[in-house]
Structure 1
Amino acid sequence: MYAQLNTKTVYSFMGSTVKLADYLTAAKALGYQTLGISDLDNLHAAHQFMTLSLRMGIKPVIAFETTCVIDSLPIQLSFIAKTSEGLSNLYRISSKKNFGFQKLSDMASHLSDVAIVVGSDYAVDNILKQLPKEDVYVGLLKPTVQEFSRPKIPFLSVKYLDAADANTLTVLEHIKNGTKVDESLTVAHSENLHAESMVTELFDQKSLQNLDNLVSSIHYQAMDGSLALPTFNQDMAAATELRQIATAFLESEQKVTPTYLDRLEHELTTIHEMGFDDYFLIVADVLRYARSENIYTGMGRGSALGSLVAYALQITGVDPVANDLLFERFLNPERASLPDIDIDMPDNKRADILAYVKNRYGSSHVAQIMTFSTFGMKQSFRDVAKAFGMTEIEISHVSSMIGRSDTLAQEYAKNNRLRAEIINDTRLQTVFNYAQKIEGIPRQKSVHASGVVLAAQDLTNYLPIAPGEMLPITQFEAHDVEAIGLIKFDFLSIKNLTYINDMRELVKERYDKQITINQIDLNDQQTLGLFREGQTLGIFQFENPQMMSFLRQLKPTEFSDVVAATSIFRPGPSAFIPEFIKRRHGDEVVVYPDSTISHILKPTYGIMIFQEQIMQVAQVFAGFSLGRADLLRRAISKKKGDEFEQLRSEFISGSLKNGHSQEKASEIYELIERFANYGFNRSHAFGYGALAVQMAFFKAHYPDVFYEIMLRDSKRLALLNDARAVGFTLAPAYINRMPYYDKLSDSQIIVGMRAIKGLSRELALWILEHRPFSSLQAFIQKLPDNFQKVAIIQPLISIGAFDEFEPNRRKLVENLAKLIDFSAVFQTDLFATSASNLTFAYTEYEDYSPAEKYQMEFDLMGIAVTEHPLMAIAKQRKGNFTAISNLIANQKATVLVELTHLKTHRTKAGATMAFLNVTDTQDVLDVTLFPEVYHHYLADINEGTFYLITGKVSERNDRLQLVADGLVKVEATDKKLWLAIADTTKNRKIAQILSEFPGNLPVVLYNETTKTTQLTTSYVNDTELLLKRLTGYVTKAVIR
């Protein structure tokens, strides 16, 4: 009987096309009872292959192939694990190889229960003598009558399942090597999977018997998956220590009440019975270390906020009892699953915390987790196309057509444009065919973004490892790591925690105040005021324009409103936003589906938003335990067949037992089923909400600190404009004042040099070191030769860096080349002593206009110090328009904007309509002019012109747009239309006439009786017809 052992899988990275499940299925169909894998230099697939094999009734054999140095010669060997102990030794051998050990002698201590197969090419006496006496075989890739001093076995190489896949492997090899595919694509070898009967006919009986003897000696004990956590404290049982710490915390917080003690006892019992005592202590220890180093790690996230034990260990910062959060949503005794506590940390402190864990538990007990990136749709196409010699232009042309389907086959089926392109190009057909074949295959290794594993023993007792930057890396991916009994800890780098940490430090430095972040009042009204006003740009989870619009309607008055906002503003529940807002403000009566569950739904005005509400309804209405209710929630959301039907039946019968009717039971179940698909985890929402309020606290109380930190690398332009909107002014970008980073001080924003396009970090640091400068000439004379170029200095002039010495920027720009030459002459030793006394004679030029200066500053800094002409108009027309950021869907609005781009479109009816891109200098907006409106205003529409545009705000693809019905061209003016009136009863008629002549001219009324003036909200067009129409209604009309 033959067993196929020498099979490379897709985890040999572009060295095979064999996928594990396909391999097992194909081999079983061919009658194989024993199968092996032997990937090159890794054991990535070992556990996965073993699990799938046993599930399909096939005996697995785990091996890996590598090169070892024997007697100074590199020899290709395959190591085969014979027992579970041999498998652990295989892990150690693979780990050593990955860490750079090359000699077979380095592996000598790990060869127990490990067989070695050496290729017949290397099976010469001087090599064989260096190998152990037992369990060494000569592997035959083809039959031979040659005899060796060690048993020979058939060891056919398989790298693809079907002979037709040989070319696919060749394409993969070309991709790997960066070479081009030959037109012929001929393959000279055959490494496909053969029928067992064919192989037995090829090889002699003795070789086959040797193989059978080897396979018969191989047997692995199934891993029981029991937890392999380190013992946190050798001197005290984990359960005892956990209880002591939790109880002491409740006492310190004066929360030793029956409610808290019963909840604590329930959680401690569940945690202990599930074997997670050490897990909680380890997580708490990591976070305790972070606090000791003044590293803020947040209030926690996810379902862990529902655990009182987690709160008592200061893993989380939210009291789950006081906030009605459920433990069973986190850890369910009725559902065997691993705990999942996210250990959040500032992204710039993660390395420090990992170093602590490594030192605390030992470098051989801690590792990061490997993950694999695969050939996606576009990647597979691009790689194959490149291998077939397509140009980058050709590749990008086709790649841009590929949409977001799950597979290339699906995309081809539904994408008419792509399909037509492929049908008309035979080479493209070939490329697309091979791209589909390699799609989904692992392409390269990488490191899991957050996953870290800790083990009780040396990690190589459980799995193979490889070297990493900070820690070793498991050769298994996360699912396999957890399947063998190791728990994945998620050490998450959270940029927003970095911001908060930095804000706290800057407040301490600038104001000498120590902010304890987790003690920030989440109901602080000054902070919540930002949410009510929708002023949440830069705030985690709340900076989406639609979210800000929603907040202005919701008007949060307490933290629970913020929690609800982050939960309802999602696909699915967002459909209930109008209803939610009306009920909150008393504009709609709250109706509950049943009085027995009204207390559960009261906080959300009768609407199910949270997953916990679903669980509580099942508990109260149908008598479910919270653990069972969680199973129901999960079954509904995942539509698990048998379990789904069983739990539905239990819910109905439980409801009937509680005295409810069949009709009402079905109604409530349907309600649960509807909301279970998109209900949000309330514990998670609390964590998100707390982080958002903490960020907003700094924005509300220390706005200079908030903006200064956030401007370093987050939505810079939008935040700069946001800062200006709340009262910060933009200071001139003077060369002697500019910092490296943007800085906010004394209600001013000083733009940092880092933001200036074309200004190198090297030059910026030189300026900081050598200033102050007294003039542009003095600056250039100090400047090193390599920086004395027009292209380097001109941007500084253009942003106004030298305005404090000479405000005429054009004068400096036009003279710059000559000034550089002039300074170069007087930098020589010959003239050095007199250089400072000689002044360059500038040629005079008319300066740039304010609009030109604005554009130069904006292009170079992303913001402008010089006032945009639109701002002058805005000051004149205060209150007559809405900022783009404040637009609300389905409402009428007028915006004051500059038209930046115009695109026309011909409708099917042959009429012309227009799409405008406009800006109010802070935000952009799409405006649609349908044919009738476009035709009416056609003569007035030009890019670069300013307009008041009126229309209805709509939402499309999660973006607001304006459907215009009116448009007025505007410009800044110092003039006004003065109207003298003697009879105020005519004011209504005057206002009607003024509305018929919209324009740029402000209107002022002078009351001749009271001798008072009033600036109206009207702006009119200066026409003789207007003045004529006003005759008889005013005593005098003057424009001045």
Structure 2
Amino acid sequence: MSPAFIHLKLHTEFSLIDGTVRIKPLIKRLAESNQPAIAITEHVNLFSLVKFYRAAMAQGIKPIAGADMLIFNPGEPATPFKLTLLAKDHSGYITLTELISKAYQEGQHQGIPMLQREWLEHTHNGVIALSGAMEGDIGRALLAENQDLAKGLAAYWADLFADSFYLELQRVGKPEEERYIAGAIELAAAINLPVVATNDVRFLRPEDFDAHEVRVCIHQGRVLDDNRRPKDYTAQQYLRSAEEMQALFADIPEALENSVEIAKRCNLKLSLGQSFLPDFPVPPGMTLGDYLRAAAHQGLEERLVQYPAQGSDSPEANRKCYFDRLALELDVIIQMGFPGYFMIVADFIQWAKNNRIPVGPGRGSGAGSLVAYSLKITDLDPIEFDLLFERFLNPERVSMPDFDVDFCMDRRDEVIDYVARRYGRDHVAQIITYGSMAAKAVIRDVGRVLGFAYGFVDRLAKLIPFELGMTLEKALEESAELKQLYATEEEVKILIDMARSLEGISRNAGKHAGGVVISPTRLT
């Protein structure tokens, strides 16, 4: 039986500016309500995509990748237009990544990533576009009673996204909704455009609205009771059931039907868990495996000149033991397809040493590799210390090798800059990290937003034990004073209950200090 409605617009916690939806509870809720597909459309990012894709596929739910984009508004740069893009296939996914990267790299206005309209004219393959409802350029023109402008914009987008542009309708309890919907229906009929219903989801249940408002205020740096703060969301922006949406749009059934048709048209398949190593330059006439063998043999000879072979046999027998071990390791490394990885790591470590940047001697299972020792990746002789190569790399357990490399923190950026120059700046990027609302921090954030006195909030935060992995649930068990206050003081209970609903949610994005991606192709 075909579903009656599919949600095509939803922000999770990874939108960072709003949204309290967490991936696992979302997928569980979809499974319980027999919703076979859903689109996550974060605020100008794809941060949640891999986590969402894996969780959805594991439950037999179709994941639809998308993003809510901001289009630069030359008339009012501070109020950009909204446009939702959904990936139909892999080409659409590439389009999304390219546009989002361009927005952050070239389109930021007052720190907000936006797209220029002409960028979309050159990059729009494989995506379906939703008009942004009242916050899109068509919606604003309709609300301004400028039908000619609205018609011209609709024709422009419909021509750009041929057979893939939909006028978006929402009924979430915002002012002017019905006036906009009436204008949008009339416009759709006039120029033969399809319409689609969304619920612009920000939280799972209606009762999550208050927590969502607190989360928004945390991002905006505002207090909940501030009468001047913008009220951009309503309590109706929850994950409605298909039955609720049918009742809501009983007068426009085609808007629901089109949500299902769009879901059918979106069929993105991601290849996860595969490794793609950049090309390491080798001399003409040599393969990467040949080059690794030559470099490792030369390196081991240099090592043994400085540090003779260890062992209880004769010097010749000890040397033979080293070269036999080297040959064995090389066979495994080449067979598993990792010679490039070793050469890349050896290259930037040698550059750091040549430039007098302190490098650690090696730690973890990588110290068990004689090839790594020969290439100067590590400075520990694995034979002398009886370290096993198999703990590092094993043909029976295929996984990427992992060297733990320590650089001087004061000059680490120089090494990253060298790698970017070596492989191309558009092939190298540092990886993202997410700051979450941990126990102490969420108490302070929520307390500030709820308008509690600093001293009151500070006292509660200091009652939470300072240890790794501490949660509010655990703190209430371990701190007798906190438990007593929670049981007897209403304000304490209000604060802690609200904090518990937001605890662990992603709060902000950051840059990993040392994690770097090196790609064989341009990163988008």
TM-score (norm 2): 0.83
Please report how far the alpha carbon of residue 438 of structure 1 lies from its aligned counterpart in structure 2 after TM superposition: 0.4
Q: Letter of the aligned partner of 2:129 in structure 1?
A: I
1:65 is matched with 68
Q: Does structure 1 retain, via aligned residues, the 8 Å contact 2:209–2:234?
A: no
Partner secondary structure for residue 342 of structure 1? coil
Q: Among 95, 104, 120, which residue is 1:89 paired with?
A: 95
In the TM superposition, what is the alpha-carbon distance from 1:247 to its structure 2 partner?
1.5
Residue 423 of structure 1 corresponds to 487
Secondary structure of the 1:345 match is coil
Quote the residue 1:605 is aligned against: none
Per-residue deviation, 1:344: 2.0
1:17–1:169 Cα contact (<8 Å) kept? yes
State how far apart, in whole Å, the 1-side matches of 2:46 and 2:200 are. Answer: 17
Structure 2 spans left out of the alignment, 5+ residues: 108-114, 139-149, 172-177, 310-315
Q: Residue 293 of structure 2 aligns with which residue?
A: 243
Equivalent residue for 2:407?
345
Tell me if structure 1 keeps the 8 A contact 2:7–2:259: no
| Structure 2 contact 128–161 (Cα < 8 Å) conserved | no
SS of residue in 2 equivalent to 1:344: coil
Deviation at 1:174, TM superposition (A): 2.0
Q: Aligned in 2, Cα 1:183/1:95: closer, same or farther, shift over 3 Å?
A: closer
Instruction: Give the match for residue 566 of structure 1.
Output: none
- Correspondent of 1:154 among 176, 184, 197: 197
Cα pair 2:65 2:268 within 8 Å, conserved: no
Count of aligned pairs: 460
**Cα deviations across residues 465-510 of structure 1 (Å, max 9, x unaligned)?**
xxxxxxxxxxxxxxxxxxxxxxxxxxxxxxxxxxxxxxxxxxxxxx
Q: Residues 33-72 of structure 1 correspond to what in structure 2 (within 5 A)?
A: 33-69=36-72
- The separation in 2 between residues aligned to 1:16 and 1:343, in whole angstroms, is 37
Q: Give the structure 2 partner of residue 129 of structure 1.
A: 155
Q: 1-side partners of 2:510 and 2:262: how far apart?
A: 35
- What residue in structure 2 maps to residue 401 of structure 1? 463
Residue type at the aligned position of 1:88 = I
Choose the corresponding residue for 1:223, options 260, 266, 271.
271
1:262 offset after TM fit, Å? 2.4
Distance in 2 separating the partners of 1:258 and 1:456: 37
What does residue 362 of structure 1 align with? Answer: 424
In 2, the alpha carbon distance for the partners of 1:92 and 1:21 equals 28
* Corresponding position of 2:218: 175
> Matched residue of 2:156: which SS?
coil
SS at match of 2:130: strand
Q: CA deviation at 1:71?
A: 7.2
Cα separation, 1, equivalents of 2:351 and 2:9:
48
Per-residue deviation, residues 41-95 of structure 1 (Å, max 9, x unmatched)? 2110011111111111000011111211367573210111110121111111111
In structure 2, the partner of 1:371 is 433
Structure 1 counterpart of 2:239, one-letter code: L
Q: How far did 1:40 drift? A: 0.8
Counterpart CA distance in 1 for 2:491 and 2:70 is 39
Shift of 1:282: 0.3
1:535-934 alignment, distance < 5 Å: none
Counterpart residue identity of residue 10, structure 2: T
RMSD value, Cα: 2.2
* C-alpha distance after superposition, 1:526-553 (max 9, x if no partner): xxxxxxxxxxxxxxxxxxxxxxxxxxxx
Task: Return the match for 2:5 from 2, 6, 12.
Answer: 2
Code of the aligned partner of 1:140: L
Compute the displacement of 1:274 (Å): 2.2
Identity, % of aligned pairs? 29
Partner SS, residue 199 of structure 2: coil
Matches of 1:196 and 1:437, distance apart in 2: 26
C-alpha distance in structure 1 between counterparts of 2:415 and 2:130, whole Å: 43
Q: Does 1:109 align with 2:126?
A: no
Deviation at 1:188, TM superposition (A): 4.7
Hey, what's the Cα distance between the residues in 2 that align with 1:374 and 1:71? 35
Q: Is the 8 A contact 1:140 1:155 kept in 2?
A: yes
Contact 2:206 2:235 (8 Å CA) reproduced: no
C-alpha offsets along residues 245-275 of structure 1, whole Å, 9 cap, x if unaligned? 1112233436684322321122112212322
Mean CA deviation greater in 287-296 or 448-457: 287-296
Q: Report the Cα offset of residue 218 of structure 1.
A: 1.1
**Contact 1:18 1:160 survives alignment (8 Å):** yes
Amino acid across the alignment from 2:213: T
- Name the CA distance, whole Å, in 1 between partners of 2:39 and 2:236: 19
- Residue deviations 1:448-474, cap 9 Å, x none? 1210110000112xxxxxxxxxxxxxx
Q: How far apart, in 1, do the equivalents of 2:253 and 2:456 lie?
A: 56
Q: Which residue of 1 aligns with 2:141?
A: none
Q: Deviations over 1:696-716 (max 9, x none)?
A: xxxxxxxxxxxxxxxxxxxxx
CA distance in 1, matches of 2:120, 2:273: 27
Give the conservation status (yes or no) of the 8 Å contact 2:427–2:522.
yes
SS at match of 1:373: strand
- Report the Cα offset of residue 332 of structure 1: 2.4
1:451 aligns with 2:515: yes
1:414 partner letter: E
Matched to 2:511, the amino acid is: V
In structure 2, distance between residues paired with 1:294 and 1:60: 49
Q: How far apart in 1 are the matches of 2:383 and 2:264?
A: 59
Corresponding residue SS for 1:331: coil
CA distance in 2, matches of 1:177, 1:455: 36
1:441 matches 2:441: no
Task: Indicate the residue corresponding to 2:259 in structure 1.
Answer: 211
- What is the one-letter code of the residue matched to 2:334? H
Aligned partner of 2:320 in structure 1 is 258
Q: Which residue pairs with 1:292 in the alignment? A: 354
| 1:199-236 per-position Cα deviation (integer Å, ceiling 9, x unaligned) | 13433332233222222111122305322111101543
Task: Give the aligned residue type for 1:344.
Answer: D
1:14 CA drift (Å): 4.6
In the alignment, residue 132 of structure 2 is paired with which amino acid?
G
Q: 1:363 to 1:32 in 2, by over 3 A?
A: same
Report the AA paired with residue 260 of structure 2: D
Q: Tell whether the 8 Å contact from 1:6 to 1:157 is kept in structure 2 after alignment.
A: yes
Structure 1 contact 7–37 (Cα < 8 Å) conserved: yes
Distance (Å, rounded) in 2 between the aligned partners of 1:220 and 1:398: 47
TM-fit CA distance, 1:239? 1.1
Question: Which structure is richer in relative contact order (CA contacts within 8 A, separation 6 or more)?
Answer: 2
Q: Which residue of 2 aligns with 1:20?
A: 23
Aligned partners of 2:456, 2:272: CA distance in 1, in Å? 53
Query: Tell me, which stretches of 5 or more residues in structure 1 are unaligned?
Result: 461-1040
Q: Shift of the alpha carbon at 1:183?
A: 10
Mapping of 1:977-992 within 5 angstroms? none
Do 1:367 and 1:453's aligned partners in 2 also have CA atoms closer than 8 Å? yes
The 2-side partners of 1:21 and 1:223 are apart by 21
Number of the residue aligned with 1:333: 395
Residue deviations 1:294-322 (CA, integer Å, cap 9, x gap): 33313222221110110111111122123
Aligned CA distance change for structure 1 residues 206 and 377 (closer, same or farther; 3 Å) = same
Distance between the aligned counterparts of 2:479 and 2:216, measured in 1?
30
Residue 5 of structure 1 aligns to a residue whose secondary structure is: coil
Give 1:31's match in structure 2, choosing from 30, 34, 39: 34
For residues 94 and 270 of structure 1, the distance between their equivalents in structure 2, rounded to whole angstroms, comes to 40
Which secondary structure does the structure 2 equivalent of 1:400 belong to? helix
- In the alignment, is the contact (CA less than 8 A) between 1:15 and 1:173 conserved in 2? yes
